[in-house]
Amino acid sequence: MPNDSLYTRRRMLGLTGGAAVIGLAGCTGTQTNDPGGSEATSTPAEDQHDEEEGGHDDEEGSHDDDEHGHDDAVGEPTDTAEVAMVTTDDGEHFEPHVARVNVGGTVTFVNESGSHTATAYHPGNDQPQLVPDGTTAWDSGLLSGDGATFEHTFETEGVYHYYCAPHETVGMIGSVIVGEPDAHEQRALEDPPEDKPESVREKIGELNEMCNEALGHTH
Ligand SMILES: [Cu+2]
């Protein structure tokens, strides 16, 4: 509740301030003499900026919808994230495809249906390296049954691709973005490994697009 009322108050200040600026466009001297003026004068600029950003985001959002037909937007990093491992009539997948945590954040993989693993693309798992340099291999082993979980804490910033051992070739592959890494410096975001089947390469390509977009790296 305190946040809500603060937000409302700031919005109201913004609106009042904005109106004041328009009204006082020709006599700004009044504002600098007003003891409460500094707060009011700074707010309209912020609001205007926010509105511009909002409009820009909306355009990007609708572009995204056209391309994919559903909302793939990746959120901001948080301290913990949950990824469901799911078998449906349509096949197997991780949900969400791209999870995001802060550096030091923990991702919990929750088996919802079927039997799955969450296994890092790491040489330690006999895989090409699609994780940051210097990280350790992680592998949940086979999780069966409803509610089985595996968690991993990510101490190194970067993009991590991982797969489900039984379902890799049908595209059960996901990504974790840790922190705010530079998209140009990620092993994971280079061209998908050439020795992988086309279905795997294609899925990794899709994940790379989603990760690049989440990191603001679009051409
Ligand atoms: Cu699976």
CA distance 26 to 198: 65
C-alpha of residue 144 to centroid of ligand 1, in Å: 10
C-alpha of residue 32 to centroid of ligand 1, in Å: 64
22, 39, 68: which is the final residue of a domain? 68
Per-residue pLDDT band for 73 (boundaries 50, 70, 90) equals confident
C-alpha of residue 174 to centroid of ligand 1, in Å: 11
Check whether 26 has a pLDDT greater than 50.
Answer: no
Strands (E), 112-148: 115-116, 119-120, 143-144
**Cβ neighbour number for residue 214 with a 10 Å cutoff:** 21
Check whether 89 has a pLDDT greater than 70.
Answer: yes
Q: Structural domain of residue 111, as residue ranges?
A: 78-214
C-alpha of residue 77 to centroid of ligand 1, in Å: 25
C-alpha of residue 15 to centroid of ligand 1, in Å: 51
C-alpha of residue 83 to centroid of ligand 1, in Å: 12
Check whether 6 has a pLDDT greater than 50.
Answer: no
C-alpha of residue 90 to centroid of ligand 1, in Å: 13
| pLDDT at residue 219 in the model | 61
| pLDDT at residue 47 in the model | 45
Looking up residue 99, the CATH number of its domain turns out to be: 2.60.40.420
Check whether 39 has a pLDDT greater than 80.
Answer: no
Angle at 153 between CA 149 and CA 158, to 5 degrees: 125
Residues 19 and 118 in one domain: no
Interval 86-95 mean pLDDT: 94
Residue 121 CB partners (closer than 8 Å, separation 6+): 127, 128, 129, 130, 131, 160, 161, 162, 163, 188
Residues 40 and 108 in one domain: no
Check whether 95 has a pLDDT greater than 60.
Answer: yes
Burial (0-12, 13-18, 19+ Cβ within 10 Å), 187:
middle
| pLDDT at residue 72 in the model | 58
Domain tally, the chain: 2
Residues 115 and 41 in one domain: no
C-alpha of residue 200 to centroid of ligand 1, in Å: 13
pLDDT tens string 156-206: 999 999 999 999 999 999 999 999 999 999 999 999 999 999 999 999 999
**Cβ neighbour number for residue 48 with a 10 Å cutoff:** 13
C-alpha of residue 89 to centroid of ligand 1, in Å: 13
Side-chain-side CA neighbours of 36 within 13 Å: the count stands at 5
Side-chain-side CA neighbours of 155 within 13 Å: the count stands at 5
